[in-house]
Amino acid sequence: MDVSIVVLTWEDFERTDGCVRSLPDGVEAVVVDNGSAAGISDRLRAMCAETGARYVRSETNLGYAKGMNLGVRHSTRSRVVLSNNDILVRPGAIERLAAELDDPAVGAAFPKVLDATGRDQTAAGRFLTVGTGVAHATGLSLMFPQLRIVAPPERGDWLSGPFVAIRRETLDRIGGVDESSFFYSEDLRLCWAVRRLGLRLAYLPDAVVTHEDDASAKRRWAAEEISRRQTREFIRASRELAGWRGTVACSAYTLGVLARAAVGGGAARRAVARGALEGMGVR
């Protein structure tokens, strides 16, 4: 099969082992060990030797984008899947995604993502525009679904990327995974770059993976801290990618989340508000 799977891991043998063993025969698996401690690295290396996966080690944690790009450089096939290590691949999923990339109009292909209980957790949304930013701030998005930030995956401007298939040629054209962020917003940036080439995103509900959401992040941060960091990087990416329109849109969005936090939204809303403010200021 003309597919390379890059699996990025940090300090996690069990989930990585499960991910690699769920891959179909014939794919090229590349496991990037993003600076794990010696004991875990030894186990990862042994697992790769047993399964035939290629083991690539970084001595430090490079973050998501740099770690993925390192793995891509060690892969050899014309289609590449970027995979979190907390993914289990269901039969036929990779074949279905790879086949979709035969269409030259498709820039990246995304599966349906289920959690461990079988609940659909596929996430998608719209890029922040002046219209969506103002609608979110004023509450108009409640009346006009087309102005909401979230969107059905088949109509999303971007989809979350714990598992995404892309042609190597396309990845080369966009310069690999954008390394501007250490962690979070990489999927939004990748989708933005692909769509700027005039290519579309394909959502394939018949290609299914299971995913333990934020498994690495949850070992380090509470839910509120994850929300803060996710919001910060979402705002930062939206502001940087869309120029002055992005700045206007993000300003409106930030005013909206500040207002919601001020009227008693609790710890979660306060975390989102802090993240939005940080995203407006980060360079």
Instruction: From first to last of the 283 residues of the chain, give the pLDDT tens digit.
Output: 999 999 999 999 999 999 999 999 999 999 999 999 999 999 999 999 999 999 999 999 999 999 999 999 999 999 999 999 999 999 999 999 999 999 999 999 999 999 989 999 999 988 888 888 888 778 777 777 777 888 899 999 999 989 999 999 999 999 999 998 777 788 888 999 999 999 999 999 999 999 986 555 565 668 788 888 888 888 888 888 888 888 898 898 898 888 888 877 688 888 888 888 988 886 5
Same domain, 198 and 227: no
In the listed set 176, 197, 215, which residue is the last one of a domain according to the structure? Answer: 215
CATH number for the domain including 185?
3.90.550.10
Q: Does 18 reside within a domain?
A: yes
- Count of CB atoms situated within 10 Å of the CB of 28: 21
Same domain, 76 and 197: yes
Same domain, 204 and 70: yes
**Segment holding 34, helix H or strand E:** strand 28-34
Alpha helices for 24-160 (secondary structure H): 38-51, 64-73, 93-100, 130-138
Same domain, 57 and 172: yes
Q: Which domain holds residue 268?
A: 221-280
Same domain, 187 and 48: yes
Q: Does 211 reside within a domain?
A: yes
Q: Does 258 reside within a domain?
A: yes
| 145 CB-near residues (< 8 Å, 6+ apart) | none
Same domain, 169 and 188: yes
Cβ–Cβ under 8 Å, residues 224 and 271: yes
Alpha helices for 52-121 (secondary structure H): 64-73, 93-100
What's the total number of domains in the chain? Answer: 2
Which pair of structure tokens corresponds to residue 107? Answer: 């820039």
Same domain, 73 and 202: yes
Confidence (pTM): 0.88
